[in-house]
Amino acid sequence: MRTLALLGAGGSIGSQCLDVVRRSGGAFCVTAMTMRSRAEELFRLAREFRPRVCGLVEEPEEIPADLREIEWFFGEDVNERVVEAARAQDVLAAVVGAAGLEASLAALRVSERLLLANKEALVTGGELVTGLAKELGKPILPVDSEHSAIFQCLRARDCNEPARLILTASGGPFRTWPKEKMYAAGVGDVLRHPTWNMGRKITVDCATMVNKGLEIIEARHLFDMPEEKIAVLVHPQSVVHSLVEFPDGCLLAQLGAPDMRAPIAYAMSFPGRMPDAGKKLDLAAVGTLTFEAPDPARFPALRLAREALRAGGTAPCIFNAANEIAVASFLREEIPFGEIVNIVEQTMQRVPSGNIRALADVREADGKARREAERVAAARR
């Protein structure tokens, strides 16, 4: 039985991870859980999974009597403290946003393996995370479906260097929408994703394709590939999860149903595979798989992510922070959908990027970018 600390237990990835645990026949023991708020939900999960350590960013009024044996932590740094107290073999970082960076660094220091869903950790502090993993000899197992696919395909590389990584993208709900209609799309339109059921923030990121931009940056760090060798291919059925191209032109792909439980279970069970972790893929029922190039005019987020990656240092962190602010503002219905990427672009122009020597450099850039993005967003309401 492997012990697992689950950070972000109440979210889309968190609940699917718990579903994998339930289906695993006792292969995993969840020894720690965290969430931001919704204490009642965490109490319910704690009664089911009986973790030793729990944490909430927002402290509840009281802990129920039957859960007081658990060691509790509260506050903004709850993930790091829970990881340190739990000392689980594996940590699944499934919190959303830049808070995942400190959590991921703590997981690498304390645990055997980091199972990483939180792409923002690599986007904001990729060098710090991969540097620490290398220094300590700890594996980072990707949970993001595209990166899990590439990770699986790369296991067949033998002595060959890959020529290109090809990330597939569903294209989101606005793949075929004209630009003007997209600009004015409402929160309801955005949250209706055609193939995946995810948290609100990443669902907005899929509609702008910022998500794919974040994933280009994530792939750059996970697989040590230069930006120009990471391509994006729109594939509306979300069946081919990504591909690797080798120098002879041969492509290897990983296919599966669009069900996050599969990459979650793969990371948890690696190097084994868990039977019946997710839905099975019936290719005959799917029938047709289609592919198209992304439209740079309607999805400028891809260009912005590449610019950030080429600029290096804190530029990807600024890209991410501005996006988090813009998405939150859109979800509060303060700005039109079409302004999200404009705010990201303006913030990138206004906040100079610098080198990353330590975590403090990331936090400073993140704070500056958030404050500037708030100002830009306020002017566009």
Select from Mg ion, ligand NAD, none the partner in contact with residue 95, using the beta carbon and a kind-dependent cut-off of 5 to 8 Å.
ligand NAD
Residue of 35, 98, 264, 365 that binds ligand NAD (CB under 6 A)? 35
State the residue for tokens 């990584």.
165
Residue 299 tokens read as 């999805």
Select from Mg ion, ligand NAD, none the partner in contact with residue 298, using the beta carbon and a kind-dependent cut-off of 5 to 8 Å.
none
Select from Mg ion, ligand NAD, none the partner in contact with residue 57, using the beta carbon and a kind-dependent cut-off of 5 to 8 Å.
ligand NAD
Select 100 or 162, whichever has its Cβ closest to ligand NAD: 100
Rounded least distance, CB 91 to ligand NAD, Å: 12
164 sits in which H/E element? strand 164-169
Binding-site size for ligand NAD (CB under 6 A) equals 29
Rounded least distance, CB 119 to ligand NAD, Å: 5
206 sits in which H/E element? helix 200-208
Partners of 251 in beta bridges: 245
Rounded least distance, CB 297 to Mg ion, Å: 23
Count of C-beta atoms within a 10 Å radius of residue 377: 23
Query: Could you say which residues in the range 149-178 bind ligand NAD, by CB under 6 A?
Result: none
Which string of x and - marks every residue 117-156 that binds Mg ion (by CB under 5 A)? ---------------------------xxx----------
DSSP sequence for 100-145: HHHHHHHHHHHSSEEEE--HHHHHHHHHHHHHHHHHHT--EEE-SH
d(CA 32, CA 370): 30
Rounded least distance, CB 50 to ligand NAD, Å: 19
Extended strands (E) in 279-331: none
Which string of x and - marks every residue 115-154 that binds ligand NAD (by CB under 6 A)? --xxxx-----------------------x----------
Query: Could you say which residues in the range 82-111 bind ligand NAD, by CB under 6 A?
Result: 94-96, 99
- 198 part of the interface to ligand NAD, by CB under 6 A: yes
Rounded least distance, CB 14 to ligand NAD, Å: 5
Stretch that binds ligand NAD, among 28-36, 46-54, 130-138, 232-240 (CB under 6 A): 28-36
Select 104 or 314, whichever has its Cβ closest to ligand NAD: 104
Residue 349 tokens read as 């122009």
Which of 168-189 are b and which e, b meaning 16 or more Cβ less than 10 Å from the residue's Cβ? Answer: bbbbbbbbeeeeeebeebeeee
Strand 53-56 and strand 90-93: pairing? unpaired
Vertex 264: Cα angle to 261 and 265 (nearest 5)? 80
d(CA 324, CA 215): 15
Select 146 or 259, whichever has its Cβ closest to Mg ion: 146
List residues near ligand NAD by CB under 6 A: 7-14, 34-36, 57, 78-79, 94-96, 99, 117-120, 144, 196, 198-199, 201-202, 260
